[in-house]
Structure 1
Amino acid sequence: MSQEIVAQLVRELKLLKIEGEKDVYIGDDTLGTLEGLSSKKESAALVQESACEKKIASPEAKTHISKTSTPVVTKSSAVIVKDPVQENIIVYDVPQLVQIPPPPQFEIPDGTKEERYNWLKNRILNCPVCKEHVRPGKKVVCGVGSLNAKIFFCGEAPGGDEEIIGEPFVGKAGQLLTKIINAMGLQRSDVYIGNIMNWRPEMETDVGNRPPTQQEMNFCLPYLKAQIAIVQPQVIVALGATAVHGLLGHDPKRRMADVRGQWTTFANTPLMITFHPSYLLRNNTNKAKRVVWEDMLKVMEFTKMPISEKQQNFFLEG
């Protein structure tokens, strides 16, 4: 087993831990393969990688997460985007060739939604910092969808498929997200889909994906907030632990299993927390699907979408 594959396994286990998983099933064949790792060098590399993960020391995050079924929020029409508050998120010790500058400040010109979106998209796609961190031949990724969408789905960063096509959520996780959207009675074109990041976080290998760093997410947050200001959705859906940390700030006590399905706010907009579609790819059970679906039912109810009896009963076991 190569060091790249082992490193990817470690990253996946870390993500599962962040998402609240406490146990992982391992088949006999897989266990035998792991036990067959005889290289002390690879074992040492595993220990070193685990040790190099670190967190920014900070006061406990003060973002309030409501357990009520309906969020309370004050809407704002401001479209001036300035430096985001310094958020505290999980940081991985990843070598960076170029220092990331402070977050950009800009004001969206007046105009229609389409005119403002086109201006913003052009700025993002031609952002020197974004372009500098994109792999050769790959693309900067901007959010897509309806500019009048009620629902804004937000992930953390593009992956390998996304940086090739230049559109968020087009890989396996994106295909599953599309199925979730369809189950809600919508099409992808009815919602808005974006990420905090506009480029795929760089790695020393091409295997897997790396969670973005604090500096990376802070740089891109003004672009995300600008998209939200243009679309003005009724609800933002945060997909996965990394996106939640990026939007709300890191809280060492926060676990996805505890906070999913709860309401909070981001950019003066109600925010629903749920698992990333990739979580369902790793946990392909009706129980896991039902957990995410219950979160979507709350979103549908809040946006006053019709909910059929069939939809109410999706993924119920028994």
Structure 2
Amino acid sequence: MNFASAKKALLEELIRMRSDGVDRIFLQDETFDDFQKLLLPNQPNVSGSENTGEDFSLNERIARALPQSSSPKENASVTDFLLPEPPSFLIPDGTKQMKWEWLREKVLGCETCNEQLNPKANVVFGEGDLDA
């Protein structure tokens, strides 16, 4: 990407961010210094595909900051486990609170839920007013 198209892409991204409600961004001091070196009016204009040392160092830092892509394992499967068919059950008659309590106990005691649960986690069941 040449300098002119990079400037345009940066400007368009900043405009998009502003329209999304972002009113501030954080720049590291060395990144800000690099922009100043490239954009000061008394500096020679960088044209077309010409690369300067500043251009290269900025591009190099950007490339290092981007996440490295990884290739998927050859024998990796999408799912390592299969969930059983969901159980069918009837909620017993009673008040709304009684039905809620029964359903809560059913979920918290569910073998599949507890097997798939992270050992450091809990099954989270809704809280609050039932009439809300």
Q: TM-score, normalised by structure 1?
A: 0.21
Answer with 1 or 2: which has the greater Rg.
2
Q: Which has the higher contact order (CA 8 A, sep 6+)?
A: 1
More strand by share: 1
Q: TM-score, normalised by structure 2?
A: 0.46
